[in-house]
Amino acid sequence: MNIVGSGAIGGLCAAGAQRANLPYRAIVREHSNKLRFVEGLDGTITHLDYAEHDIAKLGEHDVLILPLKAFQIGDALQQWQKRINKATPVILFHNGMGGTELATTWLPDNPVFLATTSHGALKLNADTVKHTGMGSTMLGMAFSHPLAEKLQPVVTALMEACIGPVTWREDMQTALWQKLLINCAINPLTALENVKNGALANPQYRATIQLVCQEVCLTAQACGVQLDEENALEQVLTVVRNTAENYSSMHQDIAHRRPSEIDAINGYVVQQAQKKGIDVPVNTRLFLAIKAL
Ligand code: PAF
């Protein structure tokens, strides 16, 4: 198993693999630091192992996991395309939407999986990640593939060890919209207000979160995906409570003056809503406010 990048979710995956004694290779992207330590929810520290030399090409028994930012996926797929076999399973693991389209463009022949998680994880510094909140991971195919049936149990078991519990989703697009709803509500607000996720439980944010939920549900419905609008607010608040001590990934990106995933999160909703002729004023306001920073 090959885990690319030194982000917080990649760190959780590598630590999970190491604790389960699964062979893995942590691959650092160019100009990035190596992650060294992952602090678990119980405070245990896992020291990550690094392969000393890089691999030339991955085969069909290797799995490639790309837990990267949404805007890094296109470049990563373009680069990895030349270094993998057509049968190598690839797992795209990012916030926001766009993975299916990129996989269709760059890896149309490979079995490509999509993963999304509600675990909270935070990079404390360049070499340390802390697991800050229990969550779960959804896994499904980006598009149908002849190897899907054979690979599903293998890839599910790997991901279960890395970042479980894992639910296999035949309706992965619905799972992605469910996670999009959570990111649309939590990420820009925590970044703009400069607060931890837990602060969003405060009643002062309730109306905004409620409106974000309504707009995302309406847009999803217009795109052919049925979200549970009645429970949408409660789903967001559950993640807020479970990851109360986390700074969201967008909070961290903005705080460290890095590019954020806003285009793939609220930006995606605004774009889809425009196509369908739906007004999404609150998502638009949050999108523009983050863009203006
Ligand atoms: O982007 C994030 O930070 C995470 O997806 C989540 C679940 C909102 C927790 O912080």
Residue 208 pLDDT > 80, yes or no? yes
147 CA from centroid of ligand 1 (Å): 31
Q: What is the pLDDT of residues 99-136, one digit of tens each?
A: 999 999 999 999 999 999 999 899 999 999 999 999 99
CA dihedral 268, 272, 275, 278 (to 10 degrees): -120
pLDDT at 28: 85
What are the pocket residues of ligand 1 if the criterion is a CB atom closer than 6 Å to any ligand atom? 95, 118, 120, 182-183, 186-187, 197, 239, 243, 246, 248-249
- Which string of DSSP letters, residue by residue, matches 6-18? -SHHHHHHHHHHH
Q: What is the DSSP letter of 246?
A: P
How far apart are alpha carbons 16 and 36 in whole angstroms? 14
CB-based contact 37:8 (threshold 8 Å): no
57 CA from centroid of ligand 1 (Å): 32
Rounded to 5 degrees, φ, ψ at 84 are -130, 160
Domain boundaries defined on the chain = 2-170, 173-291
Q: What is the DSSP letter of 241?
A: H
230 CA from centroid of ligand 1 (Å): 22
200 CA from centroid of ligand 1 (Å): 13
Residue 44: how many CB atoms within 10 A of its CB?
11
pLDDT at 178: 96
Tell me what the pLDDT averaged over the chain comes to. 95
Q: How confident is the model at residue 51 (pLDDT cuts 50, 70, 90)?
A: low
How far apart are alpha carbons 48 and 239 in whole angstroms? 28
Q: Which CA distances in Å does 279 have to 222, 231, 273, 282, 287?
A: 12, 22, 7, 9, 14
Q: What is the pLDDT of residues 239-289, one digit of tens each?
A: 999 999 999 999 999 999 999 999 999 999 999 999 999 999 999 999 999
Q: What atom of ligand 1 comes closest to residue 182's alpha carbon?
A: 8
Instruction: Kindly report whether the peptide bond that precedes residue 153 is cis, defined as omega within 30 degrees of 0.
Output: no
Q: What atom of ligand 1 comes closest to residue 119's alpha carbon?
A: 7
- Could you say which architecture CATH assigns to the domain 173-291? Orthogonal Bundle (1.10)
How far apart are alpha carbons 102 and 80 in whole angstroms? 13
pLDDT at 53: 60
pLDDT at 68: 95
How far apart are alpha carbons 86 and 75 in whole angstroms? 18
How far apart are alpha carbons 76 and 10 in whole angstroms? 14
Q: What atom of ligand 1 comes closest to residue 239's alpha carbon?
A: 7
Q: What atom of ligand 1 comes closest to residue 246's alpha carbon?
A: 10
H runs (alpha helix) in 21-171: 73-80, 99-106, 148-163
Residue 50 pLDDT > 80, yes or no? no
For a substitution probing ligand 1, which of 69, 216, 242, 246 has the most ligand atoms within 8 Å of its CB? Answer: 246
As annotated, the active-site residues are 179
Two tokens at 218? 């309406």
187 CA from centroid of ligand 1 (Å): 7
Q: What atom of ligand 1 comes closest to residue 247's alpha carbon?
A: 10
18 CA from centroid of ligand 1 (Å): 23
Domain 2-170: CATH superfamily is NAD(P)-binding Rossmann-like Domain (3.40.50.720)
For a substitution probing ligand 1, which of 197, 235, 256, 266 has the most ligand atoms within 8 Å of its CB? Answer: 197
For a substitution probing ligand 1, which of 243, 265, 290 has the most ligand atoms within 8 Å of its CB? Answer: 243
Q: How confident is the model at residue 197 (pLDDT cuts 50, 70, 90)?
A: very high
Minimum CA distance residue for ligand 1 atom 3: 248
Model pTM score: 0.94
How far apart are alpha carbons 50 and 218 in whole angstroms? 45
